[in-house]
Amino acid sequence: MQTAIHRKTIQNSITLKGIGVHSGKVVTLRLHPAEANTGLIFYLYRGTQKVRIPVTLDHVVDTSNATTIGDGGSNRVQTIEHLLAAVHTLGITDCIFEIDSVEVPIMDGSSLPFWEGIRSAGIRVLDETVEPITITNPIWVVDGDKYLVMLPSDELKVTYSIDFNHPLLRGQSYTTTLDESILGTDILPARTFGFLKDVEALQARGLAMGGSLDNAVVLTDDGYLNDHLRYDNECVRHKILDLVGDLAVMGRPFRGHLIASKAGHALDISLAKCIMSQVTGNELTQYKSKRIPLFSKKEATR
């Protein structure tokens, strides 16, 4: 069992505004401090209605193109992974998110604005602690030629490979440890990416109306539409960002060696569910072994 670490929240409330990548409309996101053990909770404002949607695996309702949580009805908040990657990096376990749209603002397409915003708000260390997730055996999920594995490790690290049908994204791979410093400088600034032909098709359907070169890396048939990249391998770094943000839905710090090949939101969430299933089983077994029996075996045979 790894050493428990202190829970954290933000010191002051902050407001972030940006464009919704699909709606193209301005979204207001407010972050507020929360008491220990509150967890991460969205409050979606729809007119006069205020809908509570906790950030938990049970509330994930869609993983196509982005990770979406919902209340089991028609109320949803999508594209939460970029915000959660920043939240995880800074160790925030308890926070309230108030939002006036069904999508978290895309900002510049990365987690950097969220990371900078949370740091500017300050971080408050709480008295209560949380046990980091630790696994004792490899856990994996597979979907055809796509897979995602988590191996036991005392630190968080990743080996990620992508292989898109594009001359610049064939066989791209990246391996790194993922401590707070490396995440902040090498992963969180990596922007989301897409293919020009797909963007045009989405916009024809009324989607991706907020997408632009200001918030995405856009690939043409043989190159980039952008004038420059933040990293030579920015696309695979963004896939790591998404993975960290998706696994943050587990609601606890986690450690392990993640090995991914052509994964995405669906596999990320599937792995998170497998991890929590094993962790819960292990922790229940440890708790059970420490219980004091209510009666002896001798008494039970009478």
The predicted pLDDT at position 280 comes to 77
- CA-nearest of 37, 39, 75 to 54 is 39
The predicted pLDDT at position 281 comes to 67
Residue 122, phi-psi category: left (phi > 0), alpha (psi -120 to 50), beta (remainder):
left
Q: Which amino acid is at 258?
A: L
For residue 61, pLDDT over 60 is answered with yes
Q: How large is the average pLDDT for residues 193-202?
A: 89
Mapped onto helix, strand or coil, the DSSP state of residue 200 is helix
Write the pLDDT tens digit of every residue in 66-90. Answer: 999 999 999 999 999 999 999 999 9
For residue 290, pLDDT over 80 is answered with no
pLDDT band with cut points at 50, 70 and 90 for residue 32: very high
Sheet holding 76-78, edge to edge: 60-62, 68-70, 76-78
- Estimate to the nearest angstrom the gap between the alpha carbon of 110 and the chain centroid: 12
pLDDT band with cut points at 50, 70 and 90 for residue 193: very high
CB 163 within 8 A of CB 262: yes
Residue 215 CB neighbours (<10 A)? 18
- CA-nearest of 250, 240, 221, 95 to 172 is 240
Report whether 242 belongs to an annotated binding site.
Answer: yes
The predicted pLDDT at position 298 comes to 41
The predicted pLDDT at position 285 comes to 60
Write the pLDDT tens digit of every residue in 220-259. Answer: 999 999 999 999 999 999 999 999 999 999 999 999 999 9
pLDDT band with cut points at 50, 70 and 90 for residue 206: confident
pLDDT band with cut points at 50, 70 and 90 for residue 200: confident
The predicted pLDDT at position 296 comes to 42
Stretch among 14-23, 196-205, 233-242, 275-284 having the lowest mean pLDDT? 275-284
CB 28 within 8 A of CB 99: yes
Report whether 59 belongs to an annotated binding site.
Answer: no
Average pLDDT of the residues of the chain: 92
The predicted pLDDT at position 164 comes to 93
The predicted pLDDT at position 284 comes to 61
Q: How large is the average pLDDT for residues 135-145?
A: 95
Write the pLDDT tens digit of every residue in 143-177. Answer: 999 999 999 999 999 999 999 999 999 989 999 99
CB 236 within 8 A of CB 174: yes
Question: For the stretch 189-209, what's the b/e string if a residue is b when 16 or more beta carbons lie within 10 angstroms of its beta carbon?
Answer: bbbbbbbeeebeebeeeebbb
The predicted pLDDT at position 219 comes to 96
CB 56 within 8 A of CB 111: no
The predicted pLDDT at position 203 comes to 84
H or E stretch at 204: helix 196-204
Residue 226 CB neighbours (<10 A)? 17
Cα–Cα dist 147/143, whole Å: 6
**Greater pLDDT, 284 or 170:** 170
The predicted pLDDT at position 269 comes to 98
- Half-sphere exposure (CA, 13 Å, Cβ side) for 22? 13
The predicted pLDDT at position 299 comes to 39
Q: List the structure tokens of 90.
A: 């800074």
- C-alpha triplet 289, 295, 301: angle, nearest 5°: 115
What is the set of active-site residues?
A: 265
Domains parsed from the chain with CATH numbers = 5-130 (3.30.230.20), 139-280 (3.30.1700.10)
Mapped onto helix, strand or coil, the DSSP state of residue 52 is strand
